[in-house]
């Protein structure tokens, strides 16, 4: 296992304890009711981990991606939705602003995001631009001191509840990827509307929705990075997003495996605990191995991100995203199998974990896209 520092171990123990005592008891309910985990979000703010990568002067904890992964993993062990809520806010919104904003923008937005007074999100995806994100159509036209945004973003985590979003739009559509710009957009800017909220298979406590922009007036000072350089802002976050999603997949796998191990020792069939059967042992052994490998690749990536090895991270982040998400799908599916009929019932968390795990192979770049990135890297393309 990765050698964590004493501070990182303390953080892990604190979040593990919080997750077991306060997040786990809500996991069933927020999944059933498809509701945002407000209580847990507030407690994460009190624990001081929302702005985990943000310097103290802007209200953050001043640590790094390893710490962000530790929090994400420990939450996902009991509730992927709460983990997704955290990662979307802390990584996709807050960390993006930390990396790319001006000092004035940081002073304006980071303190209220780090304190949890504001909920953050990030919007790239559009109804016709998913994996091919640079084909986005959301238009931003400069008019005096404002950019006027028109178009729709879809599948946006925290979309139905968020206050501050990093939004990508085309300022020069003819220049394709070189014509994308990034903006910080508040929910009360004129012309900002929330569209529909989606009903989902998993991640049901993490609300997902559309954002609609109709002549939305965004002050010019809310441009994030330079005009037409939004692709740099966008790409700057993809690798760390994939590492953090790796931590989430790892947490889901651990939660499912722990449940299967406990059940296998307690469930008696043919006069023995089912853990005594070699076919069950083989499943448990594979789960443990996949968890160990998920841990190694995730925290290798997090350590590289902390050391600023961004070029090298491209390949490792794709490995981490792909391996951990597909491992989580295998581990949760086998956990359901170990529990037999009970695994299919909502009395046990493994059926929810299996539904949650499926998103891991889709969001933040699908498994197919990760394989394309890996192939390009190894072919030196
Ligand atoms: C619950 C949820 C939360 C999300 N949160 C956010 C968010 O907060 N912000 C945000 O911007 N987006 C978000 N997304 C969007 C997510 O990132 C996209 O769904 C994802 O990138 C895939 O895009 P798509 O759904 O349009 O699928 P498509 O790109 O249409 O892909 C469909 C299928 O085709 C495959 N495919 C596509 N291109 C290729 C290719 N070149 N070669 C081989 N196969 C290919 C894909 O792998 C996939 O299997 C979220 C999605 C979900 C489901």
pLDDT in tens, 83-95: 999 999 999 999 9
Contact status, residue 208 vs residue 156, Cβ threshold 8 Å:
yes
CA of 260 to the centre of ligand 1 (A): 31
Q: Residue 226 is encoded by which pair of tokens? A: 């330079």
What DSSP line would sit under 206-259, residue for residue?
A: S-EEEEEEEEEEEEGGGEESSTT-HHHHHHHHHHHHHHHHHHHHHHHHHHHHHH
Per-residue model confidence as pLDDT tens digits over 281-332? 999 999 999 999 999 999 999 999 999 998 899 999 999 999 999 999 999 9
Atom 19 of ligand 1, residue of closest alpha carbon: 363
Mutate to test the pocket of ligand 1, among 132, 155, 381 (most ligand atoms within 8 A of CB): 155
Strand partners of residue 151: 213
In angstroms, the CA 157 to CA 125 distance is 11
Contact status, residue 286 vs residue 296, Cβ threshold 8 Å:
no
* 44 alpha carbon, distance to own chain's centre: 15
Res. 276: pLDDT tops 90: yes
Per-residue model confidence as pLDDT tens digits over 119-155? 999 999 999 999 999 999 999 999 999 999 999 999 9
CA of 341 to the centre of ligand 1 (A): 32
Strand partners of residue 197: 209
Ligand 1: atom nearest CA of 203 is 1
**Residues comprising the chain, all counted:** 381
Which domains are delineated in the chain? 6-118 (1.10.540.10), 121-228 (2.40.110.10), 231-378 (1.20.140.10)
What DSSP line would sit under 96-154, residue for residue?
A: HHHHH--HHHHHHHHHHHHTTSS-EEEE--BTTBSSSGGG---EEEEETTEEEEEEEEE
Ligand 1: atom nearest CA of 200 is 1
Is the pTM higher than 0.95? yes
Q: Residue 90 is encoded by which pair of tokens? A: 């802390």
Contact status, residue 176 vs residue 132, Cβ threshold 8 Å:
no
Q: Which of 126, 210, 241, 334 is catalytic?
A: 241
SS3 content of the chain, % helix, strand, coil (to 5): 60, 15, 25
* 228 alpha carbon, distance to own chain's centre: 26
Q: Residue 126 is encoded by which pair of tokens? A: 């559009």
pLDDT attached to residue 3: 83
Ligand 1: atom nearest CA of 365 is 21
pLDDT attached to residue 2: 62
pLDDT attached to residue 310: 87
Atom 35 of ligand 1, residue of closest alpha carbon: 368
Per-residue model confidence as pLDDT tens digits over 51-72? 999 999 999 999 999 999 999 9
Ligand 1: atom nearest CA of 84 is 3
Across all residues in the chain, what is the average pLDDT? 97
In angstroms, the CA 199 to CA 50 distance is 26
Res. 338: pLDDT tops 80: yes
Cα dist. 106→59, 90, 135, 199, 235 in Å? 10, 14, 29, 34, 20
Ligand 1: atom nearest CA of 131 is 29
The dihedral sign for the CA sequence 272, 274, 279, 282 = negative
CA of 133 to the centre of ligand 1 (A): 9
CA of 126 to the centre of ligand 1 (A): 10
Atom 14 of ligand 1, residue of closest alpha carbon: 155
Name every protein residue with a CB atom under 6 angstroms from any ligand 1 atom: 88, 121-125, 130-131, 155-157, 200, 203, 208, 359, 362-366, 368-369, 372
H or E element at residue 2: none
> For this structure, is 241 an active site residue?
yes
Atom 27 of ligand 1, residue of closest alpha carbon: 130
Res. 381: pLDDT tops 90: no
Mutate to test the pocket of ligand 1, among 90, 205, 362 (most ligand atoms within 8 A of CB): 362
Helices (H), 19-87: 24-33, 38-46, 65-76, 80-87
Per-residue model confidence as pLDDT tens digits over 200-214? 999 999 999 999 999
Angle 296-299-302 from CA coordinates, rounded to 5°: 150
């Amino acid at each position: 296992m990765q050698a964590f520092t004493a501070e990182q171990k303390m953080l892990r123990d604190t979040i593990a304890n919080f997750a077991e005592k306060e997040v786990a008891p809500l996991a069933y309910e927020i999944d059933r009711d498809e509701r945002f985990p407000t209580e847990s979000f507030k407690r994460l703010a009190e624990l001081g981990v929302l702005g985990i990568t943000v310097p103290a002067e802007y209200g953050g904890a001043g640590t790094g991606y390893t710490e962000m992964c530790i929090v994400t993993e420990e939450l996902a062990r009991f509730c992927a939705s709460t983990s997704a809520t955290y990662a979307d806010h802390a990584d996709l919104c807050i960390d993006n602003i930390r990396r790319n904003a001006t000092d004035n923008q940081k002073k304006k937005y980071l303190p209220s995001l780090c304190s949890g007074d504001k909920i953050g999100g990030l919007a790239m995806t559009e109804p016709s631009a998913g994996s091919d994100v640079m084909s986005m159509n959301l238009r931003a036209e400069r008019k005096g001191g404002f950019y006027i945004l028109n178009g729709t973003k879809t599948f946006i985590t925290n979309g139905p509840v968020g206050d501050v979003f990093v939004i990508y739009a085309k300022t020069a559509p003819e220049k394709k990827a070189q014509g994308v710009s990034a903006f910080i957009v508040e929910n009360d800017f004129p012309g900002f509307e929330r569209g529909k909220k989606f009903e989902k298979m998993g991640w049901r406590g993490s609300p997902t929705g559309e954002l609609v922009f109709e002549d939305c007036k965004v002050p010019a000072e809310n441009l994030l990075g330079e005009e037409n350089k939004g692709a740099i802002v966008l790409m700057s976050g993809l690798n760390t997003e994939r590492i953090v999603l790796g931590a989430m997949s790892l947490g889901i796998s651990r939660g499912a495996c722990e449940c299967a191990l406990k059940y296998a020792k307690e469930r008696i069939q043919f006069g023995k605990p089912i853990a005594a059967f070699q076919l069950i042992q083989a499943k448990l052994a594979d789960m443990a191995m996949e968890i160990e490998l998920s841990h190694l690749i995730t925290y290798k990536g997090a350590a590289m991100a902390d050391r600023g090895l961004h070029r090298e991270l491209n390949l490792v982040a794709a490995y981490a995203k792909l391996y951990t998400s597909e491992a989580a799908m295998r581990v949760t599916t086998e956990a359901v199998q170990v529990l037999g009929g009970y695994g299919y019932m909502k009395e046990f968390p493994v059926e929810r974990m299996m539904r949650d795990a499926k998103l891991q192979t889709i969001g933040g770049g699908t498994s197919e896209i990760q394989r394309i990135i890996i192939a390009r890297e190894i072919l030196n393309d």
